[in-house]
Amino acid sequence: MTANTASELPLEQTVSPTDELTVAALIGEAHKSGTPVYPIGGGTSLDYGPQPARPGIRLSMNQMNRVLDHPADDLTITVEAGMTLAQLNRHLATKRQWLPIDAPESVRATVGGIVATNACGPRRYSHGTIGDYLLGIRAIDGCGEAYAGGGRVVKNAAGYNLPRLMVGSLGTLGVITQATFMVRPLPTHSALVICDLPSFQQAECLLAALGQSRTTPMIVELLAGPALPFCPLPALPDTAASRLAVGFEGSAADVQGMANVLCDEWQALGADGLTTITRARVDSAWNWLSESPAMLQINVLPSRLVGVMEQVAWLMAASPLQAHAGNGVLRIYRPSPPAPLPSTDEGSFANLVQNTLRPIVTAAGGHLTVLATPTGVELSPAEIWGPPRPGAALMRSIQQRFDPAGILNPGRYTL
């Protein structure tokens, strides 16, 4: 145990267990004393959610990072929760397999943290999110008792779906110690087709046409505003309002064929300035599209996304914008280099969220979430997540059953 003096959380000490029994014993003692426990994986989402005030224990899971079982022929793998996504995929690559989900900062982000935050990226359009691959979990509840859900096989319908319940729970229902995932064969080739667009209206047209396309995209990304740092793509022309990037994966013939077909379809709709990126360049481009942590996230119906994005681009001209357009997800990033955020109340971030952006999103039937609160800014749960959802009371009762003393990540996920 060591003192921790540099953290976003009010921590008194750090513990780095190496096995599940130690995790259970520590939480059991914390339950008896009422001491808060803050489980931490790679530390990539510490500014997500309200900042708690109760001092407690940092439970670092980074020493629990082993592969426990990998029956490659069954396309499943069981690992400890402290393994990073990058480590997991490096191991799987030795068998030409991978876990086909994206998460920001994959070198640091742990699989337990990705499950707890439901982190995902561009590949959700074709491959889904972490919950679609999570077959089983082991975790320790707020009393120090171990529990398990799901299993280690793909076809498993036994019992309640506890693994899905853990997705997005932010560590308030238990500390995940193990997770079993379904994995996929690793694709051999990929390509990215880019089109720079003079208006958001043309972006709307091309996105609508994808519904009738003869291709099968893996990612559909719409970009606007300044580029995120270290952009490997050609600079966006001054005459372009946005950039549409569509990616393909598969065999060499399939990928090249679909890229050619999409270019033909877009040219028939009047698009020009098309670029196809392949080979080594496409890997860096795909990584760049998924690695950066966002500040705000907007979820709307895909049919409403372009209209909302155009309004946000006008209001926040200094912020990079990236939309998982096929899923209706718009991610807003911090200005780079740092620049003042627009607001009608002397730079108030809360005012920007509540009085400028949230009305736009609500009018479009969507939902706004603050993913990262700026340093020195305190937001209420309603300002971070919006009005309480209809199922909030049920969620509180579930949380009470798993953590009756309220010691697991207290204050981080206030319903």
DSSP string, 241-286: SEEEEEEEEE-HHHHHHHHHHHHHHHHHTT---EEEEEHHHHHHHH
Q: Do the beta carbons of residue 276 and residue 193 sit within 8 Å?
A: yes
Looking at the domain assignment, is residue 68 inside a domain?
Answer: yes
Q: Do the beta carbons of residue 177 and residue 63 sit within 8 Å?
A: no
Q: For position 376, what pLDDT does the model report?
A: 78
Q: Give the CA angle between residues 401, 407, 410 to the nearest 5°.
A: 100
- Residues 100 and 130: their CA atoms lie apart, in Å, by 9
Considering the domain architecture, whether residues 302 and 328 belong to the same structural domain is answered as yes
Please give the residue range of the domain that contains residue 39: 1-186+388-409
Number of domains, the chain: 3
Q: For position 375, what pLDDT does the model report?
A: 77
Considering the domain architecture, whether residues 39 and 97 belong to the same structural domain is answered as yes
Looking at the domain assignment, is residue 127 inside a domain?
Answer: yes
Q: Do the beta carbons of residue 178 and residue 263 sit within 8 Å?
A: no
Q: For position 3, what pLDDT does the model report?
A: 35
Pairing of strands 56-60, 11-15: parallel
Pairing of strands 67-69, 56-60: unpaired
Of 52, 145, 167, give the one whose Cα is nearest residue 404: 145
Considering the domain architecture, whether residues 104 and 172 belong to the same structural domain is answered as yes
Of 238, 224, 230, give the one whose Cα is nearest residue 319: 224
Count CA atoms within 13 Å of residue 138 on its CB side: 18
Structure tokens given for 31: 């339950």
Considering the domain architecture, whether residues 16 and 71 belong to the same structural domain is answered as yes
Looking at the domain assignment, is residue 414 inside a domain?
Answer: no
Q: For position 124, what pLDDT does the model report?
A: 94
Q: Is the dihedral of CA 226, 122, 49, 355 positive or negative?
A: positive
Mean pLDDT of successive 10-residue stretches along the chain, which has 415 residues:
49 93 97 96 88 90 96 96 97 97 93 94 94 95 95 65 91 96 95 95 95 95 93 88 95 95 95 88 91 94 97 94 96 79 61 94 95 84 86 87 94 72
- Residues 6 and 58: their CA atoms lie apart, in Å, by 11
- Residues 151 and 220: their CA atoms lie apart, in Å, by 33
Considering the domain architecture, whether residues 271 and 333 belong to the same structural domain is answered as no
Q: Do the beta carbons of residue 190 and residue 282 sit within 8 Å?
A: yes
Return the biggest CA–CA distance within the chain: 69
Looking at the domain assignment, is residue 383 inside a domain?
Answer: no
Domain boundary among 228, 261, 291: 291
Question: Residue with structure tokens 């991610």?
Answer: 331
- Residues 278 and 282: their CA atoms lie apart, in Å, by 5
111 membership: H or E segment, kind and range = helix 111-117
**Full-model pTM:** 0.91
Q: For position 1, what pLDDT does the model report?
A: 32
Q: For position 381, what pLDDT does the model report?
A: 87
Considering the domain architecture, whether residues 181 and 204 belong to the same structural domain is answered as no
Residue 398: CB atoms within 10 A of its CB come to 16
